[in-house]
């Protein structure tokens, strides 16, 4: 019974670590590697893992035990990924016991700070305007791109939280960006509508999803790589659709 309880704790710890990493934007191969290292350092050498973009399966054949965890929310919080990796190293070095490591993961999941909403909006404006300049835009369009980029990101976040429908928030944000860019140029607040749009949609571009898709495919995780790549294509299509609607109807 004691061995069974220990195996269950190892299983729960592996799943907790994997779920935190997947929900925070980590690659599949990194999640599997972390879970395997945790199990090996806990003394269970026959761990079997299966990770996709929407779920995790971990089992120990010798202990006749396995468990599934669903990955629901998706976000980008690399602070959590770093914290899980740090805790895994501490556990490997013997500085954390298994129960302490599990409690540490619970704390990481619940208490790891994220940037405030205001800082995210300001950062979106900075990314939009600076990349617009890098992509051969003019300084006259710097401030309009900064403002439109912030508004577009705000719309993206608002619809994402209120509607909870994937891709619709990307479409709405791109639509608003397209409309504001056209209005800014038509009222002589900016010169080049293309520069405004290209810069302002940059915070919406699924760069992390594309990067993780390629890295997962190269690591042999074809299912997760293709799934994430498809998600990135749908996001890009939604952004393009919003811009097309803005140009055709406004």
Q: What is the predicted pLDDT for the residue at 216?
A: 83
Q: Is 76 helix (H, G, I), strand (E, B) or coil?
A: coil
pLDDT at 2 over 70: no
Contacts with 75 (C-beta within 8 Å, 6 or more apart), sequence order? 23, 24, 25
Name the pTM for this structure.
Answer: 0.80
pLDDT tens per residue across span 19-44: 999 988 888 888 999 999 999 998 88
Residue 222 in this model has a pLDDT that exceeds 70: yes
Question: Which residue do the tokens 């994997």 mark?
Answer: 18
User: Cα separation of 18 and 21, whole Å?
Assistant: 5
Query: CB 142: neighbour CB atoms within 10 A?
Result: 18
Query: Residue 45: how many CB atoms within 10 A of its CB?
Result: 10
For residues 80-95, give the mean pLDDT: 91
Give the pLDDT of residue 142.
94
Average pLDDT, the chain: 88
Lowest average pLDDT, out of 6-15, 72-81, 89-98, 149-158, goes to: 72-81
Assess whether pLDDT exceeds 80 at residue 112.
Answer: no
**Residues 44 and 10 sit within 8 Å (Cβ to Cβ):** yes
Nearest alpha carbon to residue 70 among 57, 59, 55, 58: 55
Q: Is it the case that residue 155 has pLDDT exceeding 70?
A: yes
Instruction: Give the per-residue pLDDT at 3.
Output: 58
Give the model's pLDDT for residue 47: 85
Residue 1: the pLDDT is 45
């Amino acid at each position: 019974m004691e061995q069974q309880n220990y195996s269950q704790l190892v299983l729960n710890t592996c799943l907790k670590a994997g779920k935190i990493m997947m929900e925070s934007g980590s690659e599949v191969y990194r999640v599997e590697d972390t879970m395997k290292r945790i199990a090996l350092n806990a003394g269970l050498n026959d761990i079997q893992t299966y990770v996709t973009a929407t779920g995790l399966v971990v089992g120990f054949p010798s202990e006749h035990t396995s468990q599934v965890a669903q990955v629901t929310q998706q976000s980008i919080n690399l602070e959590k990924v770093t914290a899980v990796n740090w805790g895994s190293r501490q556990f490997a070095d013997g500085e954390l016991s298994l129960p302490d490591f599990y409690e540490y993961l619970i704390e990481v999941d619940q208490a790891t700070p994220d940037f405030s909403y205001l800082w995210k909006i300001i950062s979106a404006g900075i990314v939009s305007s600076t990349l617009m300049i890098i992509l051969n835009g003019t300084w006259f369009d710097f401030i309009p791109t900064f403002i439109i980029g912030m508004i577009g990101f705000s719309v993206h976040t608002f619809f994402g939280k209120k509607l909870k429908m994937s891709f619709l928030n990307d479409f709405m944000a791109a639509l608003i960006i397209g409309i504001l860019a056209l209005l800014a140029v038509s009222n002589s607040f900016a010169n080049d509508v293309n520069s405004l749009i290209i810069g302002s949609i940059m915070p919406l571009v699924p760069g992390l999803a594309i990067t993780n898709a390629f890295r997962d495919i190269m690591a042999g995780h074809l299912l997760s790589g293709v799934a994430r790549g498809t998600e990135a294509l749908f996001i890009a299509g939604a952004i393009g659709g919003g811009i097309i609607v803005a140009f055709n109807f406004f």
